[in-house]
């Protein structure tokens, strides 16, 4: 009885911690992006609220809360209200299977630094990222606005297409680690991260993950200059903020799964595991921001061509080569 209570307590604390850290990181990721983009464009970025503008995320949050929340006439109310929650929710749920560090023991209780070590963790992440398409597509469709609809359609097509390449790039990882559990995948990289063993898969993963998070140069669902704001044109106030924060939570999630699948998770010399994990997680969003400052947006047909004609075949060939080498090794 007591052990169950302790287990529930530990689980609640872990969930609370992860939620707080992820939301905090997402808020400050927005600040980091604005700051970094500013410096790359030879300007300062936000520096008015607090020292170095550190209170900017709080000011932004307050502003979003106090803004009028408009629900246009003619929208499908229920779906309109749910869509942002789907985007933010699916991104948050995926953190349940991400391992943050090795097990440790406190007062005789072994604590695993993962909320739920599902033995199909990889499939859980894929399932949730497929569900995220619903948020974008429904948000665009339900808004009763042609631009939003176009943005939502583009988003759905793009996310589904790149989901395939993403899946194919992770097959070699599963082949090498013999497991779908994220903890086992991290354990398999104790000596060498998969980024070095599978550079091609890593490259495909990064490119298609960029497209999955709708980041520049693949931000066609938003495409401010042709679609106003794309699928979230009609959203305002906190509902828009949910879409927005969802994007940044997605960036952090992307950082975590990149760290888990390719960068060796929490493994690393000298520093404590959780620090290594955080460093690897943060490296990916910084790279995404750097990419945003550097590359122009692709045309839609170019985007689709890269996905279907290049990344998917390359992923298949990579799987074949990996399989052949593994078979030869045995």
Partner 1 sequence: MEDKNDKPGLLREVVDGATGIIGSYAATLTHLFRKPVTEQYPEYKRPMPARTRGRIILTRSPDGKERCVACYLCSGVCPVNCISMQSEEGPDSRRRAAWFRINFARCIYCGLCEEACPTLAIQLTPEFAFSKDSIEAFVYEKEDLLVDHGGKDPDYDFYAHAGVAAGRPKGEHIGEDEPVDVKSILP
237 near partner 1, judged by CB under 8 A: no
User: Residue 79 contacts by C-beta under 8 Å, 6 or more apart in sequence?
Assistant: 138, 141, 142
How far apart, in whole angstroms, are the C-alpha atoms of residue 91 and residue 245?
A: 10
How far apart, in whole angstroms, are the C-alpha atoms of residue 15 and residue 20?
A: 8
Site pattern 267..296 for partner 1 (x: CB under 8 A):
-----------------------xx-xxx-
Q: Which is nearer to partner 1, 38 or 102 (CB)?
A: 38
Instruction: Compute the least distance from the CB of residue 34 to partner 1, in Å.
Output: 13
51 near partner 1, judged by CB under 8 A: no
Distances (CA, A) of 64 to 26, 196, 237: 15, 43, 5
Whose structure tokens read 């888990």?
Answer: 260
User: Residue 325 contacts by C-beta under 8 Å, 6 or more apart in sequence?
Assistant: none
**Where would I find the beta strands (DSSP E) of the chain?**
101-106, 109-113
38 near partner 1, judged by CB under 8 A: yes
Instruction: Compute the least distance from the CB of residue 229 to partner 1, in Å.
Output: 24
Which residue in 17, 44, 71, 321 binds partner 1 (CB under 8 A)? 44
How far apart, in whole angstroms, are the C-alpha atoms of residue 231 and residue 227?
A: 8
Instruction: Compute the least distance from the CB of residue 134 to partner 1, in Å.
Output: 33
Q: Which is nearer to partner 1, 229 or 293 (CB)?
A: 293
Q: Which is nearer to partner 1, 44 or 104 (CB)?
A: 44
Q: Which is nearer to partner 1, 104 or 310 (CB)?
A: 310
Q: Which is nearer to partner 1, 39 or 309 (CB)?
A: 39
Does residue 64 sit in helix, strand or coil? helix
How far apart, in whole angstroms, are the C-alpha atoms of residue 193 and residue 185?
A: 10
Question: Among residue numbers 293 through 312, which ones bind partner 1 (CB under 8 A)?
Answer: 293-295
Query: Counting Cβ atoms within 10 Å, is residue 100 exposed (0-12), middle (13-18) or buried (19+)?
Result: buried
Q: Which is nearer to partner 1, 35 or 232 (CB)?
A: 35
Distance of CA 188 to the CA centre of its chain: 23
Instruction: Compute the least distance from the CB of residue 292 to partner 1, in Å.
Output: 9
Does residue 72 sit in helix, strand or coil? coil
Stretch in the footprint of partner 1 (CB under 8 A) among 31-39, 54-62, 134-142, 205-213: 31-39
How far apart, in whole angstroms, are the C-alpha atoms of residue 110 and residue 132?
A: 34
40 near partner 1, judged by CB under 8 A: yes
Distance of CA 140 to the CA centre of its chain: 20
Stretch in the footprint of partner 1 (CB under 8 A) among 8-16, 33-41, 71-79, 115-123: 33-41
Q: Which is nearer to partner 1, 236 or 291 (CB)?
A: 291
How many CA atoms within 13 Å lie on the side-chain side of 66? 6
Instruction: Compute the least distance from the CB of residue 39 to partner 1, in Å.
Output: 5
Q: Which is nearer to partner 1, 104 or 290 (CB)?
A: 290
Q: Which residues are near partner 1 by CB under 8 A?
A: 36, 38-44, 290-291, 293-295
């Amino acid at each position: 009885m007591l052990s169950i209570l302790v287990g529930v307590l530990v689980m609640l604390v872990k969930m609370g911690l992860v939620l707080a850290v992820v939301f905090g990181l997402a808020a400050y990721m927005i600040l980091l992006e604005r700051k970094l983009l500013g410096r790359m464009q030879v300007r300062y970025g936000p520096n008015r609220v607090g020292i170095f503008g550190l209170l900017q995320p709080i000011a932004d949050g307050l502003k979003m809360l106090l803004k009028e929340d408009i629900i246009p006439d003619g929208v499908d109310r229920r779906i309109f209200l749910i869509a942002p929650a789907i985007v933010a929710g699916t991104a948050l749920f995926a953190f349940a299977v991400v391992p943050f560090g090795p097990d440790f023991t406190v007062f005789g209780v072994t604590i695993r630094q993962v909320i739920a070590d599902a033995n199909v963790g990889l499939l859980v992440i894929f399932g949730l990222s497929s569900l995220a398409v619903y948020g974008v597509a429904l948000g665009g469709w339900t808004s009763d606005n042609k631009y939003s609809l176009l943005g939502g359609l583009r988003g759905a097509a793009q996310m589904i297409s790149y989901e395939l390449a993403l899946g194919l790039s992770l097959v070699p990882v599963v082949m090498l680690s013999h497991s779908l559990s994220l903890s086992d995948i991290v354990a398999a990289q104790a000596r060498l991260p998969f980024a070095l063993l599978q550079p091609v898969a890593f490259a495909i993963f990064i490119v298609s993950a960029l497209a999955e998070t709708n980041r520049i140069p693949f931000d066609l669902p938003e495409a401010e200059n042709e679609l106003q704001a794309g699928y979230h044109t009609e959203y305002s106030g906190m509902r828009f903020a949910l879409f927005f924060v969802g994007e940044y939570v997605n960036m952090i999630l992307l950082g975590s799964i990149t760290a888990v699948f390719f960068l060796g998770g929490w493994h690393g010399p000298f520093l404590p595991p959780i620090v290594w994990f955080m460093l690897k997680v943060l490296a990916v969003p910084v790279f995404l921001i750097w990419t945003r400052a550097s590359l122009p947006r692709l045309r839609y047909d170019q985007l689709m061509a890269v996905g279907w004609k290049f990344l998917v075949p390359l992923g298949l060939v990579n799987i074949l080569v990996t399989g052949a080498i593994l078979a030869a090794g045995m």
